[in-house]
Amino acid sequence: MEKKDRRPRTEDRGKGKNVLLIADIGTTTIALNAVDKEKRRVIHTATMLNPQIRFGADVITRISHEKKVRQVKTIDILSRFITLNGLDRRKFVTVVGNTVMMHFLFGKSPKGLGVYPYTSRLPLRKVLERRRNGLRLRTLPLLGAFLGSDCTAAILAAGIHQTRSLTLLIDAGTNGEVVLGNRERIVACSTAAGPAFEGATLSCGALAVPGAIASCRFYQGGWHLKTVGGLAPEGICGSGVLDAIAEGVKAGLITKSGRLKKKERLVLYEQGSSAVYLTQADIREVQLAKAAIASGIKVLLREWQNDGGEATDALRVFITGRFGGRINPQSAFRIGLLPGMVQSLYQHPDLALTGAKKAVLQPELLAAAKRVADITEEILLSTNPVFQDWFINSMELSPWRL
């Protein structure tokens, strides 16, 4: 069989002169876009698991295994994408990600981010440009030890830096961020939600792949399921998990404290030897993730008001990430993941990538990104006096309470 030549043709390389690579290096997932700057559209995309994940699901574990993690050259993924799609290697590659991921990408040890006082070896609050492994890398300002350039990009995409309205932004990823503010002031924190909402660590957890339960309802004594691709259920992804727990609480199958009432497992589907279910341990893991996000929101609201910000009965809310972009908001309200005082709610699978794309197509947004860094205050939850109490209170699976 004749082998296909996968090298880009000459005309493809010529087309690549106006095409730029934009990447969101997430703790769990890497998303790549090739953007035609003249036509202002995406022409190639790729999404994959971050190969570092075998050394730990969260950034703290990655830091503890930093020598092994640094052997995984994330930059090689960018380089292969450039070659495969015939892009010009001389152009800037715009990357965003949390501060730890950026340390690994730029070849710096993140060890200082693992212990107090959480020091970064990369400069904070400025657009960073470096040449590494033959590529010209650029990232938007890192906002703090645990708030990366992906947070800056998401703020730009949501337009928080331009609005007078108090806006809440939630990235419900493995190492999630919560942002509260407007064009005058922004407070933000990192929440260690863990991978529960990604479905990765649950008994029957799955990414949003064909066969994964993406949504479910419990009525007339049984479960009514929708799967990705309409296939027979083989697992359950984050949006389905949220529905299952919210519906389980509503139907009295799960108590508000998170305890399964009757059985050891909440069985959603069973056919022969195949079954999809949540265990008591799975529910506890989701409770921990939910409590991390909800208590982070409460801390930011308290910080906002303590510093003279006006209390509000209505928020503009953006929720992003692979999980946040797919969830049923009513399920999130029912278990107290999201606050009840919502004026408008917007969902998006990757605001960070969108913000990075905007910064490439509108160079003036690089200056706006610097201003975002200037007005953003990082709140460290680990040293906040009320966080632990609110975290424990937020474990309850009930609507929002302050």
pLDDT above 70 (res 15)? no
Residue 27 has pLDDT above 60, yes or no: yes
For the chain, what is the HEC assignment?
CCCCCCCCCHHHHHHHHHEEEEEEECCCEEEEEEEECCCCEEEEEEEEECHHHHHCCCHHHHHHCHHHHCCCCHHHHHHHHHHHCCCCCCCEEEEEECHHHHHHHCCCCCHHHCCCCCCCCCCCCCCEEEEECCEEEEECCCCCCCCCHHHHHHHHHHCCCCCCCCEEEEECCCCEEEEEECCCCEEEEEECCCCHHHCCCCCCECCCCCCEEEEEEEECCEEEEEEHHHCCCCEECHHHHHHHHHHHHHCCCECCCCCECCCCEEEEEEECCEEEEEEHHHHHHHHHHHHHHHHHHHHHHHHHHHCCCCCCCCEEEEEEHHHHCCCCHHHHHHHCCCCCCEEEEEEECCHHHHHHHHHHHCCHHHHHHHHHHHHEEECCHHHCCCHHHHHHHCCCCCCCCC
Q: Report the predicted TM-score, pTM, of the whole model to 2 decimal places.
A: 0.91
Residue ranges per structural domain of the chain: 10-139
- In this prediction, residues 209-238 reach a mean pLDDT of 95
- Higher per-residue pLDDT: 2 or 105: 105
What percent of the chain has pLDDT above 90? 78
pLDDT band for 29, please (50, 70, 90 cuts): confident
Task: Compute the average pLDDT of residues 240-260.
Answer: 96
pLDDT tens track for 34-83: 999 999 999 999 999 899 999 988 899 999 999 999 999 999 999 999 99
Give mean pLDDT, residues 336-352. Answer: 92
Phi and psi at 10, nearest 5°, equal -60, -45
CB 92, CB 138: distance < 8 Å? yes
| The pLDDT value given to residue 10 | 35
Of residues 173 and 212, which shows the higher confidence score? 212
The amino acid sitting at 66 is: E
- Residues 295-316: tens digit of each pLDDT: 999 999 999 988 766 666 678 9
* Mean predicted lDDT score pLDDT of the chain: 91
More confident residue, 112 or 175: 112
pLDDT tier for residue 185 given thresholds of 50, 70 and 90: very high
The CATH code of domain 10-139 reads 3.30.420.480
Looking at residue 343, its pLDDT comes to 87
Question: Which residues sit opposite 218 in a β-bridge?
Answer: 223
- 148 pLDDT above the threshold of 70: yes
- Tens-place pLDDT, residues 268-285: 999 999 999 999 999 999
Note the pLDDT of residue 310. Answer: 65
Rounded to an integer, the average pLDDT of 153-165 is 96
Predicted local confidence at residue 195, as pLDDT: 74
User: What pLDDT, on the 0 to 100 scale, is given for residue 14?
Assistant: 39
